Amino acid sequence: MDDAPAGKEQEATQQTDLSPLTPRPGPRSARARRSVAALVVVAVAAAVSLLVTNLLGDASLFFYNADEAVERRDELAGKRFTLQGTPIAAPVNTFFHDRPVLAFGVGFNAVVVDVVHSGDPPELFQPGVPVVLEGAWRLGPGPGPVIADDGWHFASDRMLVKHDNDYRQRDNYTERISEAEEGGSLP
């Protein structure tokens, strides 16, 4: 009967896996944890500063009326800024450096600035309606009419038209509404 327990022991040892175990990595040292945390903080700070720089880059575009821009032309030369003025004459479609542009003058407080705008103007653009232009001063006259005659022009690539919230009724507005109602009714 003594043989029976010994046989069970042999069976148990044969089923036991005796292959070497791979060691588990131990806990990281405090120095390694601090290094990883520092890298994460630096990465997050860099991402936040990049985001803030991009967001504020457009928001920091200074806004000047035409008279202020002319007064500060020396300090603004070559810098991008926003110019406000009212077109004083009909624009001229022309070419400048082999590109189609719109040349016109804008004024504010009796000061006139020659503008060379590349790109399509907004639909509401017309003389007498204030505009906001983004661009920079360029030395040398632009194409088309030279109104300011001071050797400079404002090179613009973005234009916004200011408009009021006063919506006026057109002369034939009521007639058009009645036609639309008649034409829209089903037999």
Report the length, in residues, of the chain.
187
Class of domain 63-161: mainly beta
**What would you report as the CA-atom Rg of the chain, rounded to the nearest whole angstrom?**
37
In whole angstroms, give the CA distance from residue 152 to residue 5.
108
* Per-residue model confidence as pLDDT tens digits over 46-71: 888 888 777 665 555 678 888 998 89
pLDDT of residue 103: 87
* pTM for this model (two decimals): 0.56
Strand runs (DSSP E) across the chain, as ranges? 63-65, 81-87, 92-96, 99-108, 111-118, 131-139, 152-161
* Residue-range domain boundaries for the chain: 63-161
Reduced to 3 states (helix: H, G, I; strand: E, B; else coil), residue 58 is helix
* Per-residue model confidence as pLDDT tens digits over 15-42: 777 777 777 776 777 787 888 888 999 9
Q: Are 101 and 118 in contact (CB under 8 A)?
A: yes
Pairing of strands 111-118, 152-161: parallel
